[in-house]
Structure 1
Amino acid sequence: MRPSIRISAILWGTILLVALWCFATRLWTFRRIFFTHSGIAVTQREAYDLYHNGSWSQTNRTQYIPKIIHQVFHNWDDPNNETLPADWDDVRKTCIDLNPGFEYRLWTAKTSRALIAQQYPFFLKTYDAYPHAIQRVDAARYFILLHYGGIYLDLDNGCKTDLSPLLYFPTWTCDPGRGALSNNILASAPNHPFWMYLTQKLLEYDVDWVFPYVTISWASGQWFESAVWEAYHDLLPSASSSKGKTTLEGNGDDGGQLYRILMDDREGADEWVFFTQERGGSWINWDNRMFLWIGDHLGVFILMVGATVGIAAWVGLRISRRMKLRDGMMAKERRTSLSRSGFGFGYGYERLDSRRGSDT
């Protein structure tokens, strides 16, 4: 095999191995994102009953989360118009009316950016450079919770009752019961270390993955939140015992673990006591359906990717063997041609011998 062919084969082999390694590591990360999550799972009914009827009376349970409801509205079509669509305005009124003791804050594009610029200027360049507007909404909610604490809700989520029972969990997110965690409803005490950790990770995860759905989900959305959630729990001393934990213990000192409020909308799942789901989908892009299908058929997708990689490796091996065989045949033909033209070793020796014979 010629040196150039050998170098090319080594190069492509190395590229294939690196690609397989990257795929394997991403697959491992995705496994953590889409399956059993760390933290303490709490159904909405459990939270409600423990507050109103259970062992967590208001006298022996610490209220960690301030009574603030946050929502974010960035009008991408008309930035100067800060008026909510009528249906979203009706939805948010359910939370305002059912929680009269709460402060309510609606964050616009201007006020969201002002918070970043004034309190977290290290992130402003990244915030402004996000390729998709929804990423600024994602980032804004994280910094709002870090700075002020409170309960954050997407504008397509309404309230069914008083949210006070949810103020006694230091930090929580929503778990739809399948796939990644959700960042549509979040809550926290101010300056919680999880949000400090997560907002720093936004810089590390700021990558444009070409596909809008992947970029949004992995750089700032629910995949990002889920990955950071798992990484944060890995840092906790009690991480080994927190995976899939469902027991509520003590008076709130749970070793720094976070909580997952279950919000599974499938038939037969635990009831939604606190929240409703209304019209959403404001950030839907052309690739959403494809990746939603992948999420619902993850096993099939993994098999398809594995088969594709296997076929590509087999084709590459076949091509390499054919190139090697072709090079061998060409080398043989060159040797034969040289021999016939008088430049081969055998022919040269014969001529030399014949000359010596004539001299004698």
Structure 2
Amino acid sequence: MGVIHRPARVHRAHPVLFTCGTALLFLALFCARHVLYDSWTLAALPFKWFTYSDRFLLSAEADGFDLTFANYSKHQVSAAPFEDRVPPVLHHISLGTGAAAHSRWMTVRQDCLDIHPGWEAFLWTDETANTFVRDHYPELKDMWESYPYPIQKIDALRYMVLYHYGGVVLDMDLQCKRALGPLRRFEFVAPEAHPAGFSIGFMMASKRNEFVGNLVANLRRYNRRWIFLPYPTVMFSTGCHYASTIHAFQRDRSTLKILAGTKDNFRMHSLNGPVSTPIFNHLGSSSWHSYDAALIVTLGRSWRLPVILVGGVAVAFFVVRRTKRRNMLLKG
């Protein structure tokens, strides 16, 4: 007598359950739309950054600017004969038991003051910073005070003081080798970072600059604990990645100049680690980097590791799904 093969049962979702599940999915997506969009903008930076880069990367061809600074006087504090769009103001920030407590950093700061005689200078400490945020950004004060990492307060303050006063914001570990006058002809300038974006350790901008205002305005929106790790939380909420993302999604980036290198030396103005550029000696403290920084840097340097991780997760998901389906058929 032959074996009778019964057809496998096909499990179909109940129409009501399917409808409810679909509705809940769309509701969840709607509630999380801001998080999803912000996450997408941050993830898209490496691809979005170089769109129309010829319009915002400083160059001799497009801007008539000498990237080596060899043709400018070391003591040139003005952009003359061009208009000075950036006011003569220097900002340094030292919160908590920071750089102001170390004579070495104060000496480095003094070098910048000496080479910019007559410029107004601010050293933002806990007391002056708290008063400034309370008086000029009361709507952001609670968030600013609740940042889990001190560097977030420093980063956010950079944008606030730069928008309010204009001028130049410098990290305490940047030693000026020459005056920044030639760059004052531009509305905004910051050095290029690698592999994408720009560094916020040095920025200069006109007073009430629209882009810098957008950096301030978006602080609350991007204020999240990203996977509960210090490095991505800082970078994505207030740091270089955050600022570069806002830059990348501006409608007109032509006035937001990025100080890049030449074809022969594309990292000429990069401030990664202890380096010497045409305008700075970067002593490279970077003391805020935490235990997870090495992992993030490794992921950024090697595209193979992220691909392997994502591929591994996809294969595991496929195997589990196939196994469950096979078990259901056998039970049927």
Q: Equivalences for 1:114-153 in 2 at 5 Å? A: 114-153=131-170
Match of 2:4 in 1: none
Q: Find 1:313's aligned residue among 296, 305, 317.
A: 317
- State the number of aligned residues: 294
Contact 1:142 1:199 in 2 (8 A): yes
Q: 1:288 aligns with which of 268, 289, 293?
A: 293
AA of the residue aligned to 1:107:
W
Instruction: Tell me, in whole angstroms, the C-alpha distance in 2 between the residues paired with 1:263 and 1:211.
Output: 32
Residue equivalent to 1:261 = 259
Q: Which amino acid aligns with 1:199?
A: V
Pick closer, same or farther for the CA change 1:134–1:312 going to 2, 3 Å. same
Q: Separation in 1 of the partners of 2:266 and 2:45?
A: 27
> Alpha carbon RMSD of aligned pairs, Å?
3.5
The answer to whether the Cα contact below 8 Å between 1:47 and 1:166 also exists between their aligned partners in 2 is no
> Counterpart amino acid of 1:281?
S
Are 1:226 and 2:244 an aligned pair?
A: yes
Any unmatched runs of 5+ in structure 2?
A: 1-9, 60-64, 270-276
Preserved contact between residue 79 and residue 184 of structure 2 (Cα < 8 Å):
no
Q: CA, structure 1 residues 263+150, in 2 after alignment: closer, same or farther (shift >3 Å)?
A: farther
The match for 1:202 among 206, 216, 219 is 219
The correspondence of residues 1-360 of structure 1 with structure 2, limited to 5 A, is: 1=10, 25=40, 29-32=44-47, 38=53, 39-42=55-58, 45-46=66-67, 48=69, 60-76=81-97, 83-209=100-226, 210-232=228-250, 235-236=251-252, 257-262=255-260, 269-270=267-268, 272-297=277-302, 299-328=303-332
CA contact (8 A) 1:64 1:170 kept: yes
Structure 2 counterpart of 1:221, which letter? G
Deviation per residue, 1:89-128 (Å, 9 max, x gap): 2211210121112222110122112111101111111111
- Aligned pair in 2 of structure 1 residues 26, 119: CA closer, same or farther (>3 Å)? closer
Gap change, CA 1:58 and 1:146, over 3 Å in 2: closer
Describe the SS at the equivalent of 1:202.
Answer: coil
Matched position secondary structure for 1:105: strand
Determine which structure has more spread, i.e. the larger CA radius of gyration. Answer: 1
Report the Cα distance in structure 2 between the residues aligned to 1:135 and 1:37, rounded to whole angstroms: 30
Corresponding residue for residue 332 of structure 1: none
8 Å contact kept, 2:191–2:258: yes
CA contact (8 A) 1:32 1:227 kept: no
Q: 1:26: Cα distance to partner? A: 6.0
The answer to which structure has the higher helix fraction is 1
Contact persistence 2:86–2:185 (CA under 8 A): yes
Aligned 8 A contact 1:142 1:195 in 2: yes
1:179–1:295 contact (8 Å) kept in structure 2: no
Q: Alpha-carbon deviations, 1:64-103, whole Å to 9, x = none?
A: 11111101001247xxxx8431221221121012111222
Question: How far does residue 218 in structure 1 lie from its aligned partner after superposition?
Answer: 0.2
1:191 Cα offset (Å): 0.4
Once the two structures are superposed, what CA deviation does each residue of 1:125-155 show, in whole Å capped at 9, x if it has no partner?
1111111111000000000000000001111
**TM-score normalised according to structure 2 size:** 0.77
Q: Distance in 2 between matches of 1:212 and 1:301?
A: 21
The answer to whether the 8 A contact 2:67-2:261 is kept is no
CA change 1:61–1:278 in 2 (3 A) is same
Amino acid at match of 2:236: W
* Secondary structure in structure 2 of the residue aligned to 1:276: strand
In the TM superposition, residue 50 of structure 1 has moved relative to its aligned partner by: 6.8
Paired residue for 2:274? none
CA deviation map 1:222-245 (0-9, x unaligned): 11001000112xx23xx6xx5xxx
| CA distance, structure 1, for counterparts of residue 44 and residue 291 of structure 2 | 25
Alignment check: 8 A CA contact 2:46 2:195 kept? no
Distance 1:26 1:63, change over 3 A: closer
3-state DSSP class of the match of 1:91? helix
Q: Which runs of 5+ in 1 are unaligned?
A: 243-256, 329-360
Residues 184 and 283 (structure 1), Cα distance of their counterparts in 2 relative to 1, 3 Å cut: same
